[in-house]
Amino acid sequence: MKLNLQSGIQLTFLVLCCTLVAVRVSGSPFVPGRCLCPETQNAVRGQLKDLAVLPKSHNCDRNTVIVTLKKNSELVCLNPEAPLGKLLIRCWNRAKNLGRDVRLCLKRRRRRGQQHPRQRKRGHSRRLTSSN
């Protein structure tokens, strides 16, 4: 009787281990609605203070890009498929791989040839016409 009881316990333990391994290998199923950012924006105005990029996980099926605005410390979720989101993800990955500070990604660069909208080009001031 001892031998049968002992083999039954061993068999139960073996089945339990196999079940746990099978569940671990298959991964947990995706449950929608657990993403940190349910709604995202394509772009954001103003200076950025901080950046957080969360990769895909079992909680969320997409990358999450969160920026903090410098003006009011508001957290804004960016669309990872939008141009700004892709740019920040690419810069964040590069900074992490090279061991650099991620805040370098927050400095926006102007494209060549573009001027600040409030500035006028030199020599193109308003000319007043005289009515003589």
pLDDT in tens, 60-106: 888 999 999 999 999 999 999 999 999 999 999 999 899 888 888 88
Handedness of CA 102, 107, 108, 114 (dihedral sign): negative
Answer yes or no: is pLDDT of 113 > 80: no
Please give the model's pTM, rounded to 2 decimal places. Answer: 0.57
Could you tell me which residues come within 8 angstroms of residue 43 by beta carbon, excluding any fewer than 6 positions away?
Answer: 78, 82, 83, 84
Cβ atoms of 64 and 35 closer than 8 Å: yes
CATH, domain 48-106, list 2.40.50.40, 3.40.50.620, 2.40.30.10, 3.40.50.300: 2.40.50.40
Q: Is 122 helix (H, G, I), strand (E, B) or coil?
A: coil
Per-residue pLDDT reduced to its tens digit, 89-102: 999 999 989 988 88
CA 105 – CA 97 distance, rounded (Å)? 13
Q: Which residue has the higher pLDDT, 25 or 96?
A: 96
